[in-house]
């Protein structure tokens, strides 16, 4: 193949950067004159001579920076060992100012004093601050609880107790059976003088201290066959107490108790429970009671003086109380 017309330049001139390499320099490559790549103004074209490059470049290190002269290019074989600072790559702040001023130096930042081994943030101070905040919150809550407790105690003492906060609710299913725990006001009570009297029993008002209406009581009970009979209407079946108020001349007495036609196995004791030695009846009013089993509705309760009883007694009233 015939050689072409390469123009007036040698092949080594085809590479505009050949002068930068050792083999190009050995082949006689020369840096371009009158401007080049990256610099103002391309070299003027010569008539009849082909252009070898669109831009002409300068040798590394030729360019001027203000009034400071750039360090010349150092061939690779003359560079400093690895790890040592290179002259051509010195930090910009080591040069003078744009107008030739003195060189400047960076001032190293002093390490911060604090908790970390590497000079990091003061984590110990932050932790102490957080613990202090938590302690203040806990103390505030404790004081509030103690204060509220003290106010509550004062309110309880002033009001006599702790009031309920919710109103009591009625039972959803009311009981259809009456309760056997009745108060004395709900159970029957009657003056003995208003009961059915039998035998020698009668009424009078001579002895003071009787609680019956008008001070009336039953007397004449000291004869065999004397009796009082009571028709007591009970709300429910159950065991009760029959309470009797009486007066005796400081001597024990007794009588026969019969419930719904069945005599009680034990006599009704009308003893001198007050241990009086004064036979004055007015000073010896007292009460006694005996257990009885009653049915719901009407019940017949009879107290009588039978053979073997000591019946020298005055009767004031009779009452049924919870057993």
Q: CA 115, CA 126: separation in Å to the nearest integer?
A: 10
Q: Tens digit of pLDDT per residue, the chain (323 long)?
A: 444 455 455 554 566 676 677 777 777 777 766 544 444 455 555 566 565 554 555 555 555 555 545 555 555 555 555 555 555 555 555 555 444 445 545 555 555 554 444 445 567 778 888 888 888 888 888 888 787 766 555 545 444 443 333 333 433 333 334 344 444 447 899 999 999 999 999 999 999 999 999 999 999 999 999 999 999 999 999 999 999 999 999 999 999 999 999 999 899 999 999 999 999 999 999 999 999 999 999 999 999 999 999 999 999 999 999 88
Give this prediction's pTM.
Answer: 0.45
Residue 206 CA to chain centroid, in angstroms?
Answer: 73
* Cβ neighbours of residue 73 closer than 8 Å, sequence gap 6 or more: 59, 60, 61, 88
State residue 115's pLDDT score: 45
State residue 299's pLDDT score: 97
Tracing tokens 């320099």 back to the chain, one arrives at 25
Tracing tokens 């003086």 back to the chain, one arrives at 305
State residue 76's pLDDT score: 55
């Amino acid at each position: 193949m015939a050689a072409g017309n390469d123009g007036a330049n040698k092949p080594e001139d085809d590479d505009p950067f050949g002068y930068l390499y050792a083999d190009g320099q050995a082949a006689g490559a020369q840096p371009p004159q009158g401007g080049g790549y990256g610099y103002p103004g391309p070299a003027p074209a010569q008539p009849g001579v082909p252009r070898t490059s669109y831009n002409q470049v300068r040798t590394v290190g030729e360019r001027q920076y203000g009034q400071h002269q750039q360090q010349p290019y150092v061939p690779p074989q003359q560079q400093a060992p690895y790890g040592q600072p290179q002259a051509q790559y010195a930090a910009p702040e080591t040069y003078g100012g744009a107008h030739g001023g003195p060189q400047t130096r960076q001032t190293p930042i002093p390490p911060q004093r604090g908790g970390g081994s590497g000079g990091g943030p003061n984590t110990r101070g932050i932790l102490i601050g957080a613990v202090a905040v938590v302690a203040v919150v806990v103390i505030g809550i404790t004081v509030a609880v103690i204060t509220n407790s003290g106010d509550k105690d004062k309110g309880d003492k002033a009001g006599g107790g702790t009031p309920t906060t919710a109103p009591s609710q009625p039972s959803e299913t009311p009981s259809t059976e009456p309760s056997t725990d009745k108060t004395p006001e709900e159970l029957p009570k009657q003056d003995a003088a208003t009961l059915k009297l039998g035998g020698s029993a009668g009424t009078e008002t001579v002895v003071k201290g009787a609680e019956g209406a008008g001070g009336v009581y039953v007397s004449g009970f000291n004869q065999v066959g004397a009796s009082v009979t009571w028709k007591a209407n009970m709300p429910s079946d159950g065991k009760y107490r029959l309470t009797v108020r009486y007066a005796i001349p400081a001597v024990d007495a007794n009588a026969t108790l019969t419930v719904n036609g069945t005599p009680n196995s034990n006599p009704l004791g009308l003893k001198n429970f007050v241990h009086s030695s004064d036979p004055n009846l007015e000073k010896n009013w007292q009460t006694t009671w005996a257990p009885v089993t009653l049915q719901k509705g009407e019940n017949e309760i009879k107290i009588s003086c039978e053979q073997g009883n000591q019946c020298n007694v005055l009767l004031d009233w009779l009452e049924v109380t919870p057993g």
